Structures are given as C-alpha cells and as structure tokens.
Amino acid sequence: MTGWIIAAWVTSAGLLLGLQLRTRRQLFLSRSAFAALSHQAPVGIFQTDPQGQCTFANDTWCELSGLSQAETLGHGWTHAVHPEDVSRVAAKWEECVRDCKAYLNNFRLVRPDGTLRHVLTTGRPTHDDQGRLKGFIGTVLDVTEQRAAERQAREKDSLLQALVDNSSAAIYLKDAAGRYLLINRRHMELWPVMKDFKAGTTPYDWFPEEIARSFIASDNEVFESGQTKTFEESVSAADGLRTYLTIKFPVFDDSQQVVAVGGISADITELEQAHQTLAERERLLRNLIDVQENEKQFLCHEFHDGLIQYAVGSKMLLEGMRDSGLSDGFAESVVSVIDCLSKGIEEGRRVIRGIRPAVLDDLGLGAAIEDFASELQETGIAVGCELDPTIKAIPPPLQTTVYRVVQESLNNARKHSGSDRVSLTVCRVATQVVVAVEDFGCGFDREKTGGGGFGLVSMRERARLVGGDCNVESTPGQGTKVTITLPLPDDPDADRPSVGEAIPSEGVCNFHE
C-alpha cells in the first residue's frame, strides 16, 4: 500500500514538474515572440510595472525619442518630451496609472539633435489571471507627417475660404440634386434673401420658380456635358432687373464622375448698360459721320454746279469783252479781273476736293485716290500708288471710309514725316479691304508720343466704327507704316470680281513698290 502511494506521489510530482516546465517554456517563447514582434513593429511599444515605471521599450521608440532603452526605463522617457508638454503629459499619465484607466495623449518629442516629432500615445492596463494589475502596455505612433499634412490642408482651406469670401463675384457649389453645398459672402450681399442660408436648400427655396428653374436647367447642362459653360442670367432685385455673367464648372470625384457644379457669378448690369450706351453713342457717331459726308457731298455739288459755274461763266464773258477791242486801260482791268476769277475758281475747286472730291462720287474710289495722290505729288512728294481694281465694287459708304483714311494717312506723311516719297497700297484680301501707307521719313517714338496725334486717333476711330483695325509701326529715323484693315459687309449679291485678279498668287497684298 505504501509503495503504491509513493509511486502515485512520484508520478504526480513528475507530471506537475513537466507542466511547469512546459508553462515556463511557453512563457519564454511568448516573451521571445513579443520581443521579436515589438522590435520589428513600425510603432513605438512600451511596457510598465503597476506603478507606471517603464520596464521595456522597443527599437522604434528609441529611434523616435533618440533615447536608449536604458535611458528610457523608469521615468527616463520623460526626458524626450518637449519641455512645454512635460507637465501636461506626466500629470495625465499619473492620473491614468492611479485610476487604472486607458491613456491617450498627443504631445511632442525632442530628439537630442533638436528634431521635433509629434506622437500619438496610447496605453492600456494589463492584469493577471486573478485580476491583479500587472502594468501597462502601449504604443507610440509618429504622426508628424500627418500633422504637417493636416496643417497644410487647414492653411489651404483657410486661404481658399479667404479668397472665396473676399471675391467680388458670387461663388457657390451645388450637388447633383440642385442643393446648395456652400455660398460665399458676396453671394449673400448680392442676394440678401439668402442671408439666412442653410446648406441643403435649393434655388426654389430662395428665388421665384421661373428663375430657380432656369438656374437648375443651366446646372444640368454642366452635369450632362461635364464641361465648363458660360451663361448670362437675369434676376429681379430691389433696384430692378440685374444681369449676371455666370461661369459654371463641373466638380469630379476620383472616378471622374460629376458630383457637383460650381458657379461664379459677376454682376455686369452696369457694364451692360455702359456697353449699350457706348453702342448707342457709336451708332449716333456713325450716323453723324454719314450725315456730315452727305452734307459735304451736297455742299460740294452746290458749290461746283452753282458758285463755280457762275464764276466760270463770268470769266468767259470777261474773256469775250477782252477780245472785243477794249481800250488799253479798260482791257488791263478786265485782264486783272479774269486773273482773279481764275485763281478763285482754282481755289474753289481745291477746297471742294478737300471737302469731298466730286470724282469720288462720279468716278469712284480708285479715281479719287489717284487724283489726291497727283495733288500730293505737286507738293514735291513722290507717291508710289498700287490700287486693286476690285475696290470699285465695295459699297459706297465703305469707299468713303477708305478714302478718308487714305487722305488722312497721306496728309500725315506730308506734314510730319519729312519724307520725299510715300508708298500707298489699297487692296482686297478675302473679306477685307487693306490700306497700307508707308513713308521713309523721321518716324517717331510711340511711347513718348502716346501713339500719335489727332490724325492717327481719327483714323483709328474711323476704322473701329466699321469694325476694323488700325496698326501703326514707327521707329525714329526709319519712317512710319500705317496698316488699316476694314471688313467688307456681307453682301452675297454684290458684284465682286475675283480677288486673285488683283492680288499676288500668295493671296496677300504687296505693301511696297
């Protein structure tokens, strides 16, 4: 019996010893696995005793803090905490240890080289099988880059918000259902009805149904096309109807699906009114110029067919009296009167040509330009004149404009250039008439003269009023070139000879002799 008891005791002791050995071995393996895993972990890992004293820290913590494991143990880890954060961090840690509760905190670490890192630290209490506190285990996550990215995002958001709120245009964003996601300060100023704006509302909550429907319709155009579009929208306001120029653009998600529509609306009411006023003034100016030309034409015909003809008739009568055998004294007086009448007739004809040459109405633009060029040559300036025969087919009002800019250009060259020769070209290119006048005189500095005097301003305005353009090129000592481009009005029934009959094969005008 005794032997059996002894054998059983030995057997039990052996089993217990084996179990202890296996437990110790498993514990050793578990600790080894934990140590290996913790040292490979991308986050800092630490363990403490029940009093909160650090008993272990992995390699990642050492890299973050710049402390060795030995320097970290106990409360040594606090040496890596930023001086401004130490009291706050330590107080919260002591509170969590005392109350045996989880720890969560953000603070800064300062490495020995001065490098600053932001970390997020967590810690949780651990217990044994009997529920007794064993200590704490926690992690330290480096969030420096994340904090920097968040700061940059906040700065961008702040900058964007400042730009949006201080814009002179109304800015807004709507989702696919037409609900407002945001509006800026200017939007509320332009539409005071939206001063109590709330996200999630639609245009129907703020505007009359017809206007709201038009807003939604233009939004849908952008949603469906996925392209930026420009609209002109009119909205009733306290001071009347206001006009807005609106640019609406799509907002895409990562899969390139349109998820929202943004809008930028600028109040152009005053601009539109100014544009209409300017257009009306330009219309009146064009009418005034037409009236002036008609009056000039009328006056010139009256002078030529009336006053000049009477003077010519008087001169012929006097010439007849002179040849009829008058006394010497009386004949000499008649000759003097004839001479004065001849000069008066010539001066009258010169004035008429200056006001509006009869040849422009009788023989057309080409003949009028050649006549004026011949008159200029009498002053000692050689004029190289190259005229496109097809200019005779352009409408009479445009012929008058062309003649006036040619007249002004040649007069400018005569008065200001000091050149003894001028090159003149008038031709048609496609749907345009091109006039080019080039002298070889003193030229001028456009920056110092402000682009020229009244003559150039007059030419620019004449060209602009018919939708054309006037370009001046000048260099001191190298002459001046004026190029005027005037559009031909649409007239499919007009008799227009082929441009190629008078233009070089390349289809451009030759502006030089």
Per-residue pLDDT of the chain (513 residues; tens, 9 = 90+): 555 555 554 455 555 555 555 545 554 444 555 555 566 678 899 999 999 999 999 989 999 999 998 999 999 999 999 999 999 999 999 999 999 999 999 999 999 998 999 999 999 999 988 888 999 999 999 999 988 888 888 888 788 778 777 888 888 999 989 999 988 888 888 788 888 888 899 999 988 888 889 899 999 999 999 999 998 887 776 667 778 889 999 999 888 999 999 998 888 877 777 777 777 776 766 666 666 656 666 665 656 666 667 677 777 777 777 777 667 667 777 777 778 877 777 777 667 666 666 667 677 788 888 888 888 888 888 888 888 888 888 888 788 888 888 888 888 888 888 888 888 888 888 888 888 888 888 888 766 665 556 667 777 877 887 788 888 888 888 888 888 888 888 654 444 433 333 333 333 343 333
How is the chain split into domains, by residue range? Answer: 26-148, 167-267, 273-349, 363-501
Please report the pLDDT score of residue 10 as a whole number. Answer: 47
In this structure, what token pair is assigned to residue 351?
A: 């004035």
Same-fold call for 26-148 versus 167-267: yes
In 3D space, the residue among 496, 345, 478, 507 whose CA is nearest the CA of residue 419 turns out to be: 478
**pLDDT value for 510:** 38
What are the C-alpha distances in Å from 319 to residues 117, 255, 328, 336, 347?
A: 116, 100, 14, 11, 19
Contact predicate 171/188, CB 8 Å = no
- C-alpha distances (whole Å) from 111 to each of 108, 159, 238, 485 are 10, 33, 64, 74
CA dihedral 406, 412, 417, 419 (to 10 degrees): 40
What is the CATH number that goes with domain 167-267? 3.30.450.20
- The single-letter code of the amino acid at 497 is P
Instruction: Give the whole-angstrom CA distance, residue 243 versus residue 92.
Output: 61
**Superfamily the domain 26-148 falls into:** PAS domain (3.30.450.20)
The set of residues, in sequence order, having a beta carbon less than 8 Å from that of 382 and lying 6+ positions away, is 420, 421, 422
395 and 491 in contact (C-beta within 8 Å)? Answer: yes
Note the pLDDT of residue 100.
92
- What pLDDT, on a 0 to 100 scale, did the predictor assign at position 509? 40
**CA distances from residue 456 to 194, 354, 383, 441 in whole angstroms, order as listed:** 52, 18, 20, 16
Q: Tell me what pLDDT residue 28 has.
A: 46
Gap between the Cα atoms of 373 and 384, Å rounded: 9
At residue 303, the 3 state secondary structure works out as: helix
Task: State which fold the 363-501 domain adopts.
Answer: Heat Shock Protein 90 (3.30.565)
The reported pLDDT for the residue numbered 511 is: 34
Q: What is the pLDDT of residue 352?
A: 64
Q: Are strands 382-387 and 421-429 parallel, antiparallel or unpaired?
A: parallel
At residue 128, what is the residue type? D
Dihedral sign for Cα atoms in the order 351, 356, 361, 363: positive
What phi and psi values does residue 372 have, to the nearest 5 degrees? -70, -40
For residue 135, the SS3 value is: strand
Contact, 322 vs 334, CB < 8 A? yes
Contact status, residue 468 vs residue 484, Cβ threshold 8 Å: yes
Q: Are 381 and 420 in contact (CB under 8 A)?
A: yes
